[in-house]
Amino acid sequence: MLQLKLSKRGDSFIMGNIFDNYFSYSIFFIAASVVMSAITFLLIKKNRYRLLCGMATIATIFSYFVSLSIIVLQINNKVLTYIYLAALVLIFIPIFLLTFLGAFLFIWNGIIVWRRESHSIGNMLTLIIGVLLLLIPIVFSLLNRYIPNNKIIDFLENVSYGFQNYLLFWVLTFLASYLITKVVRPKFNKEYAIILGSGLINGDTVSPLLGSRIMVAANFKNQQFKKNKMPMKLIMSGGQGRDELLAEAEAMREYAIHHGVPESDILVENQSKNTYQNMIFSKQVVEENGFDLQKGIFATNDYHVFRAAGFAHLVGLNIDGIGSKTSKYFLPNALIREYIAILSNHKKFHIAFMLVIVIINILPIFIS
């Protein structure tokens, strides 16, 4: 009996320690979640067009996930545990399906884009990525089967998957950052809107893509006037390309007038050749007309808003962007191109990190 009592006391003591540990962990992670939420909010408020905001958002979501998991374990209620596990299954099933079927989804999207768009490298990105995602595991599986325990093959396989995981991390960060820009809408207090140009069809005709940029700015202008009677100027920004018969800004101006925008509400910037020049030359137009630099927006396609905002802030225009909708079938390709462009802006950092991955995986070959 004495031994039984001691055993029960010992069990109670152990359970008490476990409970105390769970309680301490839950308090720690709840506090961490609150702190991360505050940091994320401040980062987004200061400048939401940064990858850092996406990283902070992911970290905040993860901290809340850990906190909730610890609380469920601490409560130790079967019904609550089953409900929580069922919710996790519902959340993670689509993620696992997308992971395992990702290659086939990319190939399927690539075929659709191939049929509807020009056959340029930029329009074949999803097809290329899908084929690579499908072939890489098959190739290494065959190599390991017919040439087992080969250090060079093991090295190449580990480096390949290391690169994939590294790039996946930045994909998730970019997608989180992109979604943040979709959630927050600019206020109706703007004095101007910069509309970013793009290539003309047959050298003189506004494309549907460019037309959608013009109309999203014109609609914002109309909504603002209906709400507070505040007028607004549209700055058409785009120079003349080598294969174009006139400057993009001139064609955009005519398009806007044809669709009901008063000519007196349109300004033209016709020297720029890229997004950076769009911003810096349009800034000159803003200053020449006496507008408040910070009371403006820019209009482009939704997938391009995040990167274009970086150029705007670079030239001293701390303004928001509004994006016109992109066809769903074309959006994956467009986002991948933006992702690659953003990575290339920090290519030295990424190359250095990938070299670290190579070194980590090559060391065992020389050590063993």
Contacts of 270 (CB under 8 A, 6+ apart): 236, 238, 239, 240, 247, 248, 249, 250
What pLDDT, on the 0 to 100 scale, is given for residue 23? Answer: 60
What pLDDT, on the 0 to 100 scale, is given for residue 42? Answer: 92
What pLDDT, on the 0 to 100 scale, is given for residue 20? Answer: 53
| Domain residue ranges in the chain | 2-76, 100-183+347-367, 192-326
As a CATH number, domain 192-326 is 3.40.50.620
What pLDDT, on the 0 to 100 scale, is given for residue 16? Answer: 47
What pLDDT, on the 0 to 100 scale, is given for residue 1? Answer: 41
What pLDDT, on the 0 to 100 scale, is given for residue 181? Answer: 83
Q: Could you state, in chain order, the average pLDDT of each consecutive group of 10 residues for the chain (368 residues)?
A: 42 47 70 90 87 91 87 82 87 78 82 78 82 89 89 90 90 89 85 91 86 94 93 93 87 93 93 93 94 93 90 91 86 86 87 92 79
What pLDDT, on the 0 to 100 scale, is given for residue 84? Answer: 86
